Amino acid sequence: MTANEANRISVIKIVQELLLAEPDKTAITPALIADKIAMAIMMMPKWGEGLDRESVTDELIRRFSVWRGQDKSLVSEEGHLPWLTTDRKKDWRYWQRYRELQEQRMAWDPVDGIDKSTDRILGMLEDPLREGPWDRRGLVVGHVQSGKTGNYTGLICKAADAGYKIIIVLAGLHNNLRSQTQMRLDEGFLGFETSNDNDGQRVIGVGNIDRDPAIRPHYATNRTERGDFTRNNVTNLGISPEQRPWLFVIKKNKTVLARLYRWIEDHVANVTDPESGRRMVTHLPLLMIDDEADHASVDTGEQVFGEDGSPDDEHQPTAINSYIRKILHVFQRKAYVGYTATPFANIFIHERSATQLEGPDLFPAAFIYNLGAPSNYIGPARVFGLNEGESREGGLPLVREVGDHNTDGGKSGWMPTSHKSSHRPVADSAAGLPASLCEAIDAFIIACAVRQLRGQKGEHSSMLIHVTRFNAVQREVHATVETYVKHIEQRLARRVGHEPVLERMETLWHEDFLPTCSAMRDILPSETPDGNVEWCDVVEILPQILSEISVRMINGTAKDALDYADSAGGLKVIAIGGDKLARGLTLEGLCTSYFLRASRMYDTLMQMGRWFGYRPGYLDLCRLYTTSDLIEWFEHIADASEELRDEFDAMVESGGTPRDYGLKVVSHPVLMVTSRLKMRTARSLFLSFSGHVIETVSLYKEAHVLKRNLDALELLVASMGQAREIPERTRSGSVERWNGVIWNDVGYEQVTDFLGAYKTHTEAPKANSQLLREFIVSMARTGELTSWTVAIIGGGVETDPMEFGNGLSVMRAKRTNKSPDAGRYSIGRLLSPKDEGIDLDDAAWSAALSETKRIWLEEPDQLKNKTEPVVPGGRSMRRIRGFGAHGVEAHPERGLLMIYLLDPVASGLDVAKDTPPVVAFGISFPGSQSGVKVEYMVNNILWEQEYAAADQ
């Protein structure tokens, strides 16, 4: 390190401490930073020699410009003794050097967030110095690609400081992910590169901050492809009770886990239980970190419980689950922390499940901890937006719809929706690829060039192509893509036949990149660099960029992960793969994704979303090419995730437990779609619609079905008597008006008769009329949902309004068809935000608005509007309706049915002019504590048709 660089680091450290003392962090400006730099140099004048003040200022602005969302937790204190105090944390060297490493890369607030969250998580575990048996099991829920590894690395550092001696990290199913995790822990915890050779490891990461051999941790696994817990690696390995901790980074593999279990019994256990004869470890406390804890760790076998609720001791868990639990069971003092972005399978674990040999199952009985995402995190709600009225709001203009990958309704073409390993992908084009994939590759090449022109030459850039799960088909795609890239490279390098290539790319530049970058600068100015790159500059470096791009298959070897670490100049790679790419593996600098794989499993889709994460300085260059079906499902996921997060927050406020949250997840009408095996039931789903709004957003367009649904509406109208005009409402000093008619105090039987006669589309993610009907009947038996408000809400299409007598009529509405080729009428949102408040009086509406504002104030993020809400959110209205508020009565008996007449021609359907209107409905269910659920019977054939991709 040069003297100038050392001075720069010293000044940054001192000025950061001075800025942290500022009471108002929003007042930190370049001018204030300049003043603090001057103060630091006054303290130590030699620091000013050769100091690049602009560089110091830029670094400190970066560190203070990102903030982190609030963390929330559900905790059970049963058997727990509080222990983590300020005095206990003095002189924690593993953590201190890790914090300093993170501060070199991240803004201050997220680093401080890691510090606080790992304190809370460690504090919810047990004191490693506590004598006697103890067992704490928890779950940390983050976001896909949001920095979970960084969080548990911090936790490991603090756990080692506190006195945990054995640290086992379960790191995925494949060598590449295990190796990637080992490398990150080498850098963040060990401080040196691990290898088979115990001598001369290169110091890296935290080792450059504090390399004192007295704190150098031991390791039992290494970063090489064969670095797992193998016989060769552990032949001469022994553990004695000493001061320094041991790290094991283990693949979730039956053979490896069995080997580790037997080795612990033979070489680490120090006593034998006189009653059971089990070997046990009493002198070394264990911390086990389970990365991607919902994957492979969950026991998918059906455990039997007796009438008294006691589990069957003879149950045989699945192999990986069994060995994880056996390893935990060997230790008398242990803590287990699962990390995942998709916790739903873990929640399905029975909280009382246990066997004599394995001990209790992995249910997070001690705590579930929700990590707040930093403000620069780009997740599904940021990419796809959220439902706001008749459209989605807050999404980014980075998604490109793909429809040319197959033909004949997905049955044939380059990549049919369903294909076998013998399929040979051939497209009717000179490149042998669909035009959309050619465009995606071109977009990646341009993105690499622009990143270099922006000064990011040394950064990694990746493209993901995920179109099939079969290795044989991936090889075919790999060969064709590699040929396509080489063809472009040769034409541009030789300047022969290059004109069509440059013309095509220039068109993409002007029609896509320039307008998108401009739009992104308006939406997220902090994430979009200023200054325009000229096309002539891009053209000049394209030959060099193409010479650096490699096309790889990702097949699960450690080398896939090692390439990033060993490519100091920045790797440019097009990664082609399937399931190996789908979970855990980070594609560094991911710019472009081409994603066709269809799955409707919530957790599978989320984990396949490798494009979520952080894109500093190049977010505007990123592109996601995918199908309309997957766009629609990710939109549902974004909405459902927000709903569930709100439910979690509400449970935190009311003092809920992990078990309460589990029950809520299991009954969620969209998040039910996780693996049927993980759900422990192949044929039944138990759903609750309480507190949800259900809308028909996938609709039929066939005339005979539309006629049937119109008949159902006319029967409902005839049964309710005379309609009246929807009354005006005064809201915050302004008048709210609707075009439509309304009925109050309608019996639930009339609503269920309507649902019984109405046919919802089989592709609807939530709106199943028969299921809704059964749920309402079940709730009515408990005295809830017995009295309904029914409104028919009009729009602005004047064709054939529906007449109701007494001069009342309702005009048709327009909802644009989003997927003309999908075989159904698909819309983004049916309801307008104000519609759910149509039956609320002023007091209830104001209470809902107050709650919406409170939520907005407590957890601001990039998705929220910058201005304070002026209309209550739907979730707040449903909660107030069901539970009431100060001065507002609860009315869980009141349901709200909203009906819309959509004009098929005005909405863009290719139908005859005399086609009946599309009757669509939304139901707003009040919140409820009744716990009523409705059983949804599913046969295995339907599961295979609808959800098979996740079970492969």
The tokens describing 222, both together, are 């290494």
Q: Does residue 678 have a pLDDT over 70?
A: no
- Say if residues 139 and 293 touch (Cβ distance below 8 Å): yes
Cα(118)–Cα(95) distance, rounded to whole angstroms?
Answer: 10
- Beta strands 386-388 and 391-393 are antiparallel
pLDDT of amino acid 598: 56
- The size of the chain, in residues, is 952
Nearest to 656 by CA among 347, 300, 315: 347
Digit-coded pLDDT (tens) for 398-410: 999 998 988 877 7
Distance CA 86, CA 84 (A): 7
For residue 722, give Cα distances in angstroms to 668, 787, 835. Answer: 36, 17, 21
Closest to 372 measured CA to CA, from 184, 120, 182, 169: 120
User: Looking at residue 196, what is its pLDDT?
Assistant: 74
What is the C-alpha to C-alpha distance for residues 68 and 370, in angstroms, rounded to an integer?
12
Distance CA 248, CA 244 (A): 13
* Tens of pLDDT, residues 346-393: 455 555 567 778 888 788 889 989 887 766 777 777 888 876 655 677
Instruction: Determine what percent of the chain is predicted with pLDDT higher than 90.
Output: 42
Please say whether the beta carbons of 691 and 879 come within 8 A.
yes
Q: What is the pLDDT of residue 487?
A: 95
Q: Residue 345 pLDDT more than 70?
A: no
Q: How many CB atoms lie within 10 A of CB 792?
A: 26
pLDDT at position 321 over 50: yes
| Exposed / middle / buried, residue 174 (Cβ in 10 Å: 0-12, 13-18, 19+) | buried
Domain boundaries, the chain: 3-64, 75-296+311-370, 434-626, 689-932
The model's pTM is: 0.66
**pLDDT at position 794:** 93
- Report which of 382, 432, 387, 865 is spatially closest to residue 622, judged by C-alpha positions: 382
Alpha carbons within 13 angstroms on the beta-carbon side of residue 945 total 7
User: Does 198 score more than 60 pLDDT?
Assistant: no
The predicted pLDDT at position 713 comes to 96
Q: What does the alpha-carbon distance between residue 853 and residue 869 come to, in Å, rounded to a whole number? A: 6
In this prediction, residue 860 carries a pLDDT of: 46
Q: Tell me: the pLDDT tens digits for 470-526?
A: 888 999 999 999 999 999 999 999 988 899 999 999 999 999 999 999 999 888 876
Average confidence score pLDDT of the chain: 82
785-840 pLDDT, tens per residue?
999 999 999 998 988 899 988 889 999 999 988 777 667 898 878 888 889 999 99
The pairs formed by 406-415 with CB atoms below 8 angstroms and a separation of 24 or more are 409/823, 415/467, 415/468, 415/596
- What is the structure's pLDDT at 143? 73
Q: Which two tokens stand for residue 527?
A: 């994430």
Helix 435-453 vs helix 499-508: crossing angle, to nearest 10:
80
Q: What is the pLDDT of residue 582?
A: 47
pLDDT at 573 over 50: yes
- What CA–CA distance (Å, rounded) separates 78 from 874? 36
Q: Looking at the domain covering 75-296+311-370, what would its CATH class be?
A: alpha beta
Tell me how many helices (H) and strands (E) the chain has.
27, 34
Taking CA 575 as the corner, what is the angle to CA 569 and CA 581, rounded to the nearest 5 degrees? Answer: 120
Rounded to whole angstroms, how far apart are CA atoms 610 and 594? 11
636 band by pLDDT with thresholds 50, 70 and 90: confident
Structure-token pair, residue 879 = 């909660």
**Interatomic CA distance for residues 383 and 935, integer angstroms:** 33
Distance CA 665, CA 343 (A): 9
- For the cut 60, the answer to whether the pLDDT of residue 101 exceeds it is yes
Rounded mean pLDDT of 262-271?
92
Distances in Å between the Cα of 372 and the Cα atoms of 140, 395, 728, 861 are 11, 20, 40, 10
3-class state of residue 297 by DSSP: coil
